[in-house]
Chains A and B, each alone.
Chain A
Amino acid sequence: MQKRSSYPLALLLLSPALLMVGLLFIYPLGYSLSYAFRNEKSATWDLSNFEKAFSLYGNDIVYTLVILVMATTLTGLFALAIGGYLTLGENKRAVSFLRWLYRWPLFIPMVVAGQLMRTFLAKNGMLNNALMSLGILDPINAMSMLDWRGVVITFVWKQLPFAALLISGAMASMDRSMIEAARNLGASRLRALVEIVIPQIKATLLVALILSFVTMLSALSVPMMIIAGSPTMITVDMAWRVNSYGDYGVANALGFISCAMSGVVAWFYLRHSVREQTATR
């Protein structure tokens, strides 16, 4: 009885938050997704925005997907390496130094990271200058990396601390004796990492990768600053459709495609967590 009587009060208390979420998130998202199917010329609902988006930006969609898959994979690999060393490393000084160092990019905004990488990766940038002064690179062979490589490097550099923070946290909270049991039976540190630690923190790894994928998918400043011209990432195309043509229809269709991409990775995550929950029951 008491439960039922407190229900309206709970709803009342929640209503400001629900209203804000509805007005500021659900309504604009629903509006934008549904208007991807709106043909403004004929004032009908059809797939013309998608046809136009695929014909104009088909290559950019594939290009975006390839960049994201590469950057996410590299972020995951490097984050596992950092987390693994923080957990299994035996040189206390090296571990402390790495723990202090790896988080720095976390505090640098995406746009600053883009600008920083522009000066670092350009043909006459810091990277090539350093390689040339070390005699590793001939000036004639110096080339700019301000293309897909630059975007991947920037994304990995920016997202790595976030993923490593989650992953190393999960590794640190593992029962330490699980690792010791493997070492005790004869596993090297690398084998203990691959066969014991990574399977144990799989769920956190998946969350880190999905959140990194979605963050990188929504980044506009990095591809805009690093890639000059075409092909480019679809966030740049969306901004271009809106700012130059006032074409919200195609921009919404590209947004819908972005949502579909993150929807696919979210589906993988949900399927995995449902499986985990079933297993623990």
Chain B
Amino acid sequence: MAPIISISGLRVAYGNHEVLKGIDLAIAPGSFVALLGASGCGKTTLLRTLAGFTPASGGSIRVEGRDALTLPPERRGMAMVFQSYALWSHMTVAQNIGYGLKLRGMPRDKIGQRVAAQLAMLGLTGYEQRSVAELSGGQRQRVALGRALAVEPKILLLDEPLSNLDARIRVQMRHEIRSIQKKLGLTAILVTHDREEAMVMADLVVVLDQGRIAQMGTPEAVFQRPASPFVAAFMGAENIIDCEAKRNGAGIDLRIPAIPASQLHCPMSSSEDVASASVAADADGPVQVHFRSEAAFLREAGASVAATLQFPGRISQVSYLGSGYRCEVNTDCGAFFVDHPTRFAPDDGVTVCIPGNALHVFRRDLSRQAAPAKAFQ
């Protein structure tokens, strides 16, 4: 299927500071794309350039085959939901939602019908004549969404639309927005810094780092097979062990130099196989191994579990997460966070076990400052 949006070599600069450094991205019609990244990575700039609010300094954006960069924002056929909602306080809820239709010269009675349909879809029937100042955060968010959807856009742009909502409403709105997008068959582009939000809502996750695409793929692919240490850390694999790796047939042997007894042979199969470790193509010799707190587990000191990378440690801190306990463990190869269903006491001796398929192995970045090893004996 031909992409609805094709971005090629897109560059954006604010003065001498280049924010986007050559973005190439093709978005299929009807898909939900999440632009994910830390503050300052360029994700909002990319969305604003798509909308026409920020000029590009190079490259191209084509929407349904037509050059969009030369068009003003009002002629790009995209509707945007803003982080601050950007509702107009001098208008009622109905006037806010119907404004885009008024601009299109739609007769007043038809606007009324369309607004009523939007309000019904968003669960706001009866709120037509309310001032937007009287609404709660969640209701305002719905009005902002209704205003964007009322003009029946082909492309919906969402600029961190849930970041101002409280946690409970945010979880609910994720599913509502996703189901509306599916129902209407829209192409949606979401900007977020919340990886869970991106994974729950999107078909395609695009991770941005310093103005470049660090990785794009399905939520599963980005989560299970991060392409770089940055993506691995951003997707939650923030525990890092420095290891020595040696290719061995269809697998890789890992050894922790600081703990000679800790060794593991990881089988490697196709890159989509989630049962094997994710190993970068150039990982051989000095490597850095990432793992998630929730992917590892703890055993009593001296215990041994097959098919895991294991090493001894001592608990230094414990905090309660609700679903279990997050333990900080000091080891000879650094300090790590490991989630465990039951409580360990500080100073308890433990064995840290990381299943082979939970490891993400990358060639070691020698400029990285390794976490200091904390003696635990």
Contact = CB atoms under 8 A, between A and B. Distances in A.
Interface in A228-281: 279-280
Contacts of B84: 175, 177
Interface string B74-113: 1100111011101111100000000110011000000000
Contacts of B90: 199-200, 202
Nearest to B91: A199
Contacts of B147: 181, 185
A197 to B, nearest CB: 10
Contact of B78 (A184, A187, A280): A184
Contacts of B133: 279-280
Contact of B73 (A175, A180, A195, A200): A180
A187 B102 CA distance: 10
B82 A185 contact: no
B74 A178 contact: no
B73 A183 contact: yes
B80 A188 contact: no
Contacts of A186: 74-75, 100, 103-104, 151
Contacts of A184: 51-53, 73-74, 78-80
Interface string A20-38: 0000000000000000000
A184 B83 CA distance: 14
B8 interface: no
Interface string B144-164: 000110010000000000000
Nearest to A184: B80
Contacts of B262: none
A203 to B, nearest CB: 11
B131 interface: yes
Range, interface on chain A: 20 to 34
B74 A177 contact: no
A3 B356 CA distance: 69
A187 B82 CA distance: 16
Interface in B282-330: none
B115 to A, nearest CB: 14
B88 A185 contact: no
B250 to A, nearest CB: 53
A220 interface: no
Interface in B223-241: none
Interface residues of B, number: 27
Contact of B74 (A187, A202, A280): A187
A188 B74 CA distance: 7
A180 B53 contact: yes
Contacts of A187: 74, 99, 103
B304 to A, nearest CB: 58
A196 interface: yes
A74 interface: no
Contacts of A185: 74, 79, 99-100, 103, 147-148, 151
A191 interface: yes
A165 B217 CA distance: 50
A175 B88 CA distance: 10
A39 B60 CA distance: 82
A185 B99 CA distance: 8
A4 B82 CA distance: 49
A187 B88 CA distance: 14
A182 interface: yes
Given A186-B100, A191-B103, A180 B86 contact: yes
Contacts of A183: 52-53, 72-74
Contacts of B82: 177, 180-181
A201 to B, nearest CB: 10
Nearest to B150: A185
A181 B86 contact: yes
Contacts of B89: 200
A179 to B, nearest CB: 8
Contact of A279 (B73, B131, B151): B131
Interface string A195-223: 11001101000000000000000000000
Contacts of B86: 175, 177-178, 180-181
A10 B133 CA distance: 38
A181 B82 CA distance: 8
24 contacts: A175-B86, A178-B86, A178-B87, A181-B88, A183-B52, A183-B72, A183-B74, A184-B51, A184-B52, A184-B73, A184-B78, A185-B74, A185-B99, A185-B147, A185-B148, A186-B75, A187-B74, A188-B74, A196-B88, A200-B88, A200-B89, A200-B90, A279-B133, A280-B133
Given A181-B80, A181-B82, A200-B90, 13 more contacts: A177-B86, A178-B86, A180-B80, A180-B86, A181-B88, A182-B99, A183-B73, A184-B73, A184-B80, A185-B74, A185-B151, A187-B99, A188-B74
Interface of A: 175, 177-178, 180-188, 191, 195-196, 199-200, 202, 279-280
